[in-house]
Structure 1
Amino acid sequence: MKGRSHSTLHPLATAVACLLLPAVPGMAWAQQAADGEARLQALQAQINDERRALNDMRAALQHRQQNLDALQRALDDEILGNARGRGGAAIAATGAFDLRAQGGTQATEPLASTQPQPVGQAPEADTRPPEVAQIFDQPGVLTPARSFILEPSVQYGYYANDRVALVGYTVIPAILIGLIDVRQVKTTTTVATLTGRYGITNRMEIEAKVPYVYAHSDTVSREIFTGSAQDNVFNAQGKGMGDIEATLRYQINQGAADKPFYIGWLRYKSRTGRDPFEVITDCVTRCVANATGTGLPLDLPTGSGFEAIQPGVTWLFPSDPVVFFGTLSYLHNFKRDNVSRTVLGGQTEFLGEIDAGDIIGLNLGMGLALNEKASISIGYDHNVVDRTQQNGEDLPGSVRLNLGTLLLGGTYRYNEHVSLNVVVGAGLTRDTPDLSLTARIPITF
């Protein structure tokens, strides 16, 4: 019985073993595949976590870089403020932060006199150029946004020139047959101007100028064609509204210490003043009451007689302790058609088309702040005036002029709203006014 049972169970066990043996490798392979998939998912999740952490670090680094740049601009503006003598005002404008090195690191602490800034918020940077004593017509510092500056000014100019005109012809060198007209012209001009500037934004302003002109001229001369050996003095004067101007300025870039500021501007000049063609001329050949005359105007004009447009660029370069500045401009006078002048006796003389010469202007200067309230500037202004044309031809006697002026000026700030600016100019070329004196009082509202 026992042997039979053993022989009977052995084939059954063998069959069961044969059925189970193929299933064991399949189950192991499936388990290995599941384990591999789990490992891949774990690695992918780890990669995603590392990528998110890296992105967070990049965002934090970018935020810190922005704060660092803002603090650096604040430090640059603080340096500019000290260079231009603004003192405490510069600190307040830059967020009232005290940046100082301690053991190779920088500490930022709010000053006790101002409110502390929130943590992580950089102070607002002052993007305006440094203030310098104004010596040229175009200022270098724009009006702050929504601020208005009213600037009354007075300019005095003196000009003296000698002129010798030979009226005749020569048959032998040094022997003149004819007359000699010797003239000494001395002219004084006083211009009272009311200027208004309004800041549209921190980088854009608009300006308008309304001048009132008083001019007086003394001419020492001998009337031509008379043969008189006696000098006579001819006086003339003129007063009234001058040419009204409007200017738009825009700060092109945001400079800093040792980085230039650029300001582009466009100026329009009207001809609201009394022009040279409207005054009565003591003519030479066409006068009824006086057949000779002097050829001089009996009244002086108060305007140029031409509308003009003038684009230009002003630049400022702060380099502690001075600020360098300059301007390059081009003035275009619009020509006039059907121009006539009035001569003595009520007659008119037709001149035709008159095209005044354009002007190329260049000036350079440097400013230095003496303390928080006073600053001085010195500079040179040069203008090249082209010839005047009549009916497409150069006007007889018209030549290209070079006007050079050396300027020295100073500004004293009484308070945050009122300043005094004085400029003295000396002519360096023959055609430039010998002396000019300008006083401005900008008042900020």
Structure 2
Amino acid sequence: MWIGTCLAQETAVDPALRERIEAQGRRIDAMRSRMAEQLAELDQMKRELAAQEMQYADLRRAVGLDVLNDARGTGAPDVASSAQGPQASPSSPVAAAPSVGRRPAQDERPPEVAPLFDQPGVLTPPGKLIVEPSYQYGYSSSDRVALVGYTVIPAILIGLVDVRQVKTTTQTGAVALRYGLTRRMELEVRIPYVDTHTDTISREIFTGTAQDRLFTTRGKGLGDIEATLRYQLNEGGADSPYYVGWFRAKSRTGRDPFEVTSDCVTRCVANYTGTGLPLRSPTGSGFYSAQAGLTWLYPSDPVVFFGNFSYLHNFERHGVSRNVLGAGREFLGSVKAGDIADVSLGMGLSLNEKASISIGYDQAFVGRTQQAGRALPGSARVTLGSLLIGGSYRFNEKETLNVTLGVGITRDTPDSTVTVRLPVTL
């Protein structure tokens, strides 16, 4: 009561102070009114923004941009979930704004390219199993002319001319199982089934006939089972190569070339119909082998360069003999097939998030076959060169179709090979 009386007396005494207080109150009321109008405008803008976000989400779904962002791993926010209201939820663009422009996490795995060679560049993730059925069709043809006799003058031969045309078709169906042991190591086991068909067109020697004769051999069955261990040596990255070392061991589970029966050793004089060819085609090499190699990949946007170097060693076999038609078993002793050094190069280009193409070249150097520590007189070093073109299409995250076409460059290389692979992640 006393305080109110004092204020009333003071106000009555100082009317100027009272007028200033009333003016300040009117300004506060005006600011409150203006703030209310701005809040109403802000609510209207939030509603309009929410409507625009819903329209934008509908447009993204119509053109499939969400699927594209998920495939590229850009981490774009889900606009559809943020269009539920004006509030800033964890899935809204306002809450996700700090992630915009953030650099995606670096992937330690090499980039995927359309495979051309037997060695894949991308290893299987740990704990995952990949089943890869494959089919390969190969065709090769060659002509061989053998001159047996002596010449009186140049270009005049007295003796025999042995001419052969050999056409070989090989079909190989295989199943490869790859399992990721760690994030940098995988184990693969490959089981092939081989079906080979060979036609040899020649004329009988010592008979004076001008009629061609067709000699056909065929063989099918289990091939040589292989096991491969791969290890990624480094992390790699953009403009930094990836290196994958690998080691392969090959058995001789296929039909042995020395097990099949040969139609005499050479063009036998005593047997005019002898061809010197096996009566049944083998399905394996007949030798245990060990192969070590290094695969590298170098990403350089927009392409990926890759290559492979390997060396295969065939182990020597002792006490080898073969079955000759009409002569029984022929003892050959120790036999060793030639080692193989292989070098390959290529480049891959990604067309979109599902399709990619690759082109490359593979060259192998095959050594001479040895018997009892000496090179066989009829064996020679061989160079095999192939031009490879491949394509890959990813159906989904678990299935991918790979197709490779190989064209022989050198005469000893198969004329053409077509390989189809379908790796499936389980």
Q: How far is 1:87 from its partner?
A: 5.5
The equivalent of 1:91 in structure 2 is 73
Q: Which residue among 118, 124, 128 is the counterpart of 1:143?
A: 124
- The worse-fitting range, judged by mean Cα deviation, of 346-355 and 293-302 is 346-355
The equivalent of 2:134 in structure 1 is 153
Distance 1:132 1:380 in 2: 15
Report the secondary structure of 1:403's partner residue. Answer: strand
The equivalent of 2:37 in structure 1 is none
Q: Which residue among 383, 387, 405 is the counterpart of 1:424?
A: 405
Distance 1:289 1:208 in 2: 47
Q: Look up the equivalent residue of 2:207 and give its one-letter code.
A: T
1:350–1:373 distance in 2 versus 1, CA, 3 Å: same
Q: How far is 1:288 from its partner?
A: 12
**Residue 357 (structure 2) pairs with residue 376 (structure 1):** yes
1:369–1:293 distance in 2 versus 1, CA, 3 Å: same
Determine which structure has more spread, i.e. the larger CA radius of gyration.
Answer: 1
Matches within 5 A, 1:75-114: 88-91=70-73, 96=75
**Residue 333 (structure 2) pairs with residue 352 (structure 1):** yes
Q: Is the 8 Å Cα contact of residues 286 and 343 (structure 1) preserved in structure 2? A: no
**Residue 259 (structure 2) pairs with residue 278 (structure 1):** yes
Distance 2:179 2:242 in 1: 20
Report the secondary structure of 1:259's partner residue. Answer: coil
Report the secondary structure of 2:73's partner residue. Answer: helix
Distance 1:285 1:377 in 2: 44
- The worse-fitting range, judged by mean Cα deviation, of 384-393 and 283-292 is 283-292
**Residue 210 (structure 2) pairs with residue 229 (structure 1):** yes
Q: Look up the equivalent residue of 2:212 and give its one-letter code.
A: D
Q: Look up the equivalent residue of 2:354 and give its one-letter code.
A: K
Distance 1:124 1:260 in 2: 18
Q: How far is 1:124 from its partner?
A: 5.7
Matches within 5 A, 1:269-418: 269-284=250-265, 290=271, 293-345=274-326, 347-418=328-399
The equivalent of 2:176 in structure 1 is 195
CA deviations 1:197-219 (Å, max 9, x no partner) are 00001100000000000000110
The equivalent of 1:186 in structure 2 is 167
For this pair of structures, how many residues does the alignment match?
345
Distance 2:321 2:366 in 1: 23
Q: Which residue among 226, 240, 255 is the counterpart of 1:245?
A: 226
Q: Look up the equivalent residue of 1:317 and give its one-letter code.
A: Y
Q: Is the 8 Å Cα contact of residues 182 and 221 (structure 1) preserved in structure 2? A: yes
Q: How far is 1:287 from its partner?
A: 7.8
Q: How far is 1:440 from its partner?
A: 0.4
Q: How far is 1:132 from its partner?
A: 0.2
Q: How far is 1:123 from its partner?
A: 7.5
Report the secondary structure of 1:297's partner residue. Answer: coil
For structure 2, list consecutive stretches of 5 or more residues without a partner in the other structure: 1-66, 78-89
Q: Is the 8 Å Cα contact of residues 87 and 372 (structure 1) preserved in structure 2? A: no
Q: TM (normalized to structure 1)?
A: 0.73
The equivalent of 1:261 in structure 2 is 242
CA deviations 1:104-126 (Å, max 9, x no partner) are xxxxxx9869x98x99xx98642
Q: TM (normalized to structure 2)?
A: 0.76
Report the secondary structure of 2:116's partner residue. Answer: coil
Q: Is the 8 Å Cα contact of residues 224 and 294 (structure 1) preserved in structure 2? A: no
The equivalent of 2:62 in structure 1 is none
Q: How far is 1:284 from its partner?
A: 4.8
Matches within 5 A, 1:62-81: none
Q: How far is 1:168 from its partner?
A: 2.2
Q: How far is 1:392 from its partner?
A: 1.4
For structure 1, list consecutive stretches of 5 or more residues without a partner in the other structure: 1-84, 99-109
